[in-house]
Amino acid sequence: MTVTEQPPAGVGAAYHEIQQFYARQMQLLDDGRVDEWAATFAPQGVFAANAHPEPTKGREAIAAAAGAAHGQLAAAGIRRRHWLGMVAVDGQDGQDGQDGTKARARCYALVFEIPRGGQAALRLSTLCEDELERGPQGWLVTHRAVTRDDLV
Amino acid sequence: MTVTEQPPAGVGAAYHEIQQFYARQMQLLDDGRVDEWAATFAPQGVFAANAHPEPTKGREAIAAAAGAAHGQLAAAGIRRRHWLGMVAVDGQDGQDGQDGTKARARCYALVFEIPRGGQAALRLSTLCEDELERGPQGWLVTHRAVTRDDLV
Amino acid sequence: MTVTEQPPAGVGAAYHEIQQFYARQMQLLDDGRVDEWAATFAPQGVFAANAHPEPTKGREAIAAAAGAAHGQLAAAGIRRRHWLGMVAVDGQDGQDGQDGTKARARCYALVFEIPRGGQAALRLSTLCEDELERGPQGWLVTHRAVTRDDLV
């Protein structure tokens, strides 16, 4: 029986940063602030999902996709709340000689929907696998893969 | 496209403290320990909600309101579990010359209900916006505004 | 009205470690990696639950129980996602002269189920009370008590 691997000590310092990055990122998405949402991805960042035929690439496309989805929901009187949780971070600090910091995160994401005047409900459960990079302004997602549990 | 603002580095130190403060606070509320729940607010703390006609002000009133709600649920054999998540904290350290620390937090809160012998269910989704102050015994809520997503 | 007790300052350093330990532990369980899941318990670790007639003792038994449950769900095309949250940690550092670190954690746990091609749903809400020990490879659960809210 193997011992569970745990991250090296230095990586722990980034953990609360990434937790809070995710909190802000989800709030931007749910509030329809789609340019700021897209700016949490690297300029050439990728958003891939098993529910989409093709990955979305770059901030402009990521903002456009989020804007379209948010507009449809708003027109239907529905608010979405994305919850990320069970966040596990693996750091790759110092592995590539860059002055930034890279990390990988694997977490769960739930999507709740709340119709105006109606009952809040769980809509989706997903797995979210991120590659992250820390630049001068903070963390950015360079690659995200979202896997809907119901489609696996 | 703007870069997402992230909090200054010093603020991060408070992040896990506030996460755990919220965990303890929700457990006190759900366990019906209403005096201890009320003591997580400042003595003149305010609890405002878009579901209530008037804000509740001060520990005594906050304890009384929680006690009434908990008593009704207990009589009906229903347990509530409050989950706070997606916690984003903005600090205001050193802005006012006080020796305490102030912060603002914006997070999501879900309310689950579990009837005795029955099926757990999501009841409400809300946005929780707090003003917090750190005194000698730890963090206290000075002002909380809870917005039910279904009533917006 | 009493002031809410908060943990001593030194304990805070362990908080994000335990949060991440839980994230990894739940992912191992949900992925059916049952030997690695069992290795997050101490060799003589105990898993007790108010839904089980007897506690499960030791890694071999803990792995076997998880494997049986996972196999049944997989055969039915159902994925489970365990979410731990509202984690409150009390440390007992330096109380027993050992070089390891002990802690107690009290948190909530939700179990979601997602049938292949179907709708994700909340299945259970529980309280999880852990005794933890930090060894050379990281945290281990020495005793876990899971209380289903619907059975209380």
Kindly identify which residue of chain B lies nearest to residue A111, measuring between CA atoms. Answer: B125
Q: Test C21 with A6 for CB contact under 8 angstroms.
A: yes
Average pLDDT over residues A96-111: 79
Examine the pLDDT at A24 and tell me if it is beyond 80: yes
Partners of residue B20 in chain C, C-beta under 8 Å: 7, 12, 15, 87-89
Give me the amino acid identity at C24: R
Higher pLDDT, A88 or C137: A88
Among the partner residues A3, A15, A108, nearest to C20 by beta-carbon distance: A15
Which chains sit next to B, with 3 or more Cβ pairs under 8 A? A, C
C73-101 pLDDT, tens digit each: 999 999 999 999 999 999 755 444 444 48
- φ/ψ of residue B125, rounded to 5: -120, 130
How far from A130 is each of A32, A102, A133, A142, C92, CA to CA, in Å? 21, 11, 10, 8, 35
Residues of C in contact with B132 (CB under 8 A): none
**Per-residue model confidence (pLDDT) at position C135:** 87
Q: Which of C125, C130, C152 would you mutate first to test chain B, the one with the most B CBs within 10 A?
A: C125
* B9 confidence band (pLDDT: 50, 70, 90): very low
Contact B149 A81 (CB under 8 A): yes
For residue A6, is pLDDT > 50?
no
Checking if the pLDDT of B6 tops 70, the result is no
The token pair that represents B20 in the structure block: 């755990």
Neighbours of B69 (CB within 10 A): 14
Whole-number pLDDT of residue B101: 84
Q: Which of B16, B22, B119 sits opposite C15 (nearest CB)?
A: B16
Please state, for a pLDDT cut of 70, what percent of chain A lies above it: 86
Q: What is the 3-state secondary structure of chain A?
A: CCCCCCCCHHHHHHHHHHHHHHHHHHHHHHCCCHHHHHCCEEEEEEEEECCCCCCEECHHHHHHHHHHHHHHHHHCCEEEEEEEEEEEEEECCCCCCCCCEEEEEEEEEEEEEEECCCCCEEEEEEEEEEEEEEECCEEEEEEEEEEEHHHC
CB distance A1–C35 less than 8 Å?
Answer: yes
d(CA B114, CA B74): 11
pLDDT of residue A1: 33
Q: Which chains touch C (3 or more CB pairs under 8 A)?
A: A, B
Q: What are phi and psi of A75, to 5 degrees?
A: -65, -30
Q: Per DSSP, what are the bridge partners of residue C138? A: C135
Beta-carbon separation of C6 and B25 below 8 A: no
Q: Is the pLDDT of residue C66 over 60?
A: yes
Q: In what order do the strands lie in the sheet with C41-49?
A: C56-57, C41-49, C138-148, C121-135, C101-115, C78-91
Q: B26 to chain C, minimum CA–CA distance in Å?
A: 7
B4 to A59: CB separation less than 8 angstroms, yes or no: no
Interface test with B, best of C1, C2, C4 (most B CBs within 10 A): C4
CB contact under 8 A, A122 and C122: yes
Scanning the structure block, which residue is given the tokens 């002990």? C102
Are A86 and C23 inside 8 Å of each other by CB?
Answer: yes
Q: Which residues contact residue C62 at a Cβ distance below 8 angstroms, ignoring those fewer than 6 apart? A: C37, C38, C41, C45, C47, C56
Quick: pLDDT tens for C114-125: 999 999 999 999
SS3 B114: strand
Cα(C80)–Cα(C113) distance, integer angstroms: 5
Residues 6+ apart with CB under 8 A from C140: C40, C41, C42, C45, C132, C133, C134
Contact residues on chain C for A151, CB-CB shorter than 8 A? 117
B interface with C, Cβ–Cβ < 8 A, is 16-17, 19-28, 35-36, 38-40, 59, 63, 79, 81-85, 112, 114-122, 137-139
pLDDT tens digit string along B104-115? 999 999 999 999
pLDDT in tens, B51-110: 999 999 999 999 999 999 999 999 999 999 999 999 999 975 544 444 448 999 999 999
Nearest chain C Cα distance for residue B1, angstroms: 33
- Is the interface score ipTM higher than 0.95? no
- pLDDT tens digits for range A121-151: 999 999 999 999 998 889 999 999 999 999 9
Q: Mean of the per-residue pLDDT values for chain B?
A: 89
CB C150 to CB B22 under 8 A? Answer: no
Residue pointed to by tokens 């943990």:
C7
Contact by Cβ (8 Å): C43, A111: no
DSSP structural state of residue C31: T
Mean pLDDT of chain A: 89
Contact call for C4 and B39, based on CB within 8 A: yes
Q: What's the confidence (pLDDT) of residue A97?
A: 42
End-to-end Cα distance, chain B? 28
DSSP, collapsed to helix, strand or coil, labels residue B62 as helix
CA–CA min distance C152, chain A (Å): 25
Classify C56 as helix, strand or coil. strand
Position A12 confidence tier, pLDDT thresholds 50, 70, 90: low
Q: Name chain C contacts of B21, Cβ cutoff 8 Å.
A: 6
Give chain A's largest Cα–Cα span.
53
Please report the domains of chain A, with CATH numbers, ordered by start residue.
11-151 (3.10.450.50)
Query: What are the residues whose beta carbons fall under 8 Å from the beta carbon of B67, sequence distance 6 or more?
Result: B32, B34
Cβ neighbours of A110 in C, within 8 Å = 83, 112, 120
Q: At what angle do helices B15-30 and C15-30 cross, to 10 degrees?
A: 70
C1-55 pLDDT per residue, tens = 334 444 444 445 689 999 999 999 999 999 999 999 999 999 999 999 999 999 9
Query: Residue C11 carries which side chain, given as an amino acid letter?
Result: V
Predicted pLDDT at C13: 66
Q: Which residues does chain C have within 8 Å of residue B59's beta carbon, measured at their own beta carbons?
A: 1
Is the predicted pLDDT of residue B36 greater than 60, yes or no?
yes
Residue type (1 letter), C69: A
